[in-house]
Structure 1
Amino acid sequence: MAWQSALAIYLLFWVFAMFLVLPFGVRTTHEAGEPPVPGQADSAPAGFSFGRMAWRTTIVATVLFAIFYLNFVFGWVTADMLDFYR
């Protein structure tokens, strides 16, 4: 696998992992005990930290990509194994 392909696949895993990680560890302003901003939705997060979320996303994406790459190298699961209509 070319390094450009590996990088593109890793970035896809990173974006996918962001959607997996996004709901965890988020508290609303009511849960945090902070006053809401006028016009703010009740479900809006309080004190959202993109850096912390990006760090968590990077860890999850790296683990998922490592599993994907090891499967690519060792061939644990192949396309033939997933052909259920043969």
Structure 2
Amino acid sequence: MRVTTIIAIYFLFWMLSLFLVLPFGVRTADEAGVSKVPGQADSAPAQFRPWKIVFRTTLVSAAIFFVFYLNYQFGWVTTETLLSITPHPRGE
């Protein structure tokens, strides 16, 4: 696997992980017991910590990519494996 491919796949895993990690640990102003800013949405976080989210996302995406790369190296799940467990239309 080329370095550019590794970077591209890791970036895709990172973006997926961002949306998985983003809702965890978020507390609204009502839950945190702080006053809202005028015009603030009820669901807006009381304290937005982007570096904490980036750190968590990087850890999760690194773990997912590590499993993906091991699968790529050792071939645990292949296209043939996936095709063998999917139902086929009748007559084929």
TM range (shorter): over 0.9
Structure 1 segment 36-51 matched on structure 2, within 5 A: 36-51=36-51
1:20 corresponds to which residue? 20
1:35 corresponds to which residue? 35
Measured on the aligned residues, the alpha-carbon RMSD in Å equals 0.9
2:78 corresponds to which residue? 78
Structure 1 segment 60-75 matched on structure 2, within 5 A: 60-75=60-75
| Secondary structure, aligned partner of 2:45 | coil
CA apart distance, 1:7: 0.5
Q: Which runs of 4+ in 1 moved over 4 A?
A: none
1:8 corresponds to which residue? 8
In structure 1, how many angstroms separate the alpha carbons of the residues matched to 2:46 and 2:70?
A: 39
CA apart distance, 1:60: 0.1
Cα deviation, 1:8-42, whole Å, max 9, x if unaligned, reads 00000000000000110000001111100001111
CA apart distance, 1:71: 0.1
- How does the TM-score come out when normalised to structure 2? 0.91
In structure 1, how many angstroms separate the alpha carbons of the residues matched to 2:79 and 2:71?
A: 12
2:64 alignment partner AA: L
CA apart distance, 1:69: 0.2
Q: Which runs of 5+ in 2 are unaligned?
A: none
Q: Which runs of 5+ in 1 are unaligned?
A: none
| Secondary structure, aligned partner of 2:20 | helix
CA apart distance, 1:62: 0.1
* Length, aligned pairs only: 86
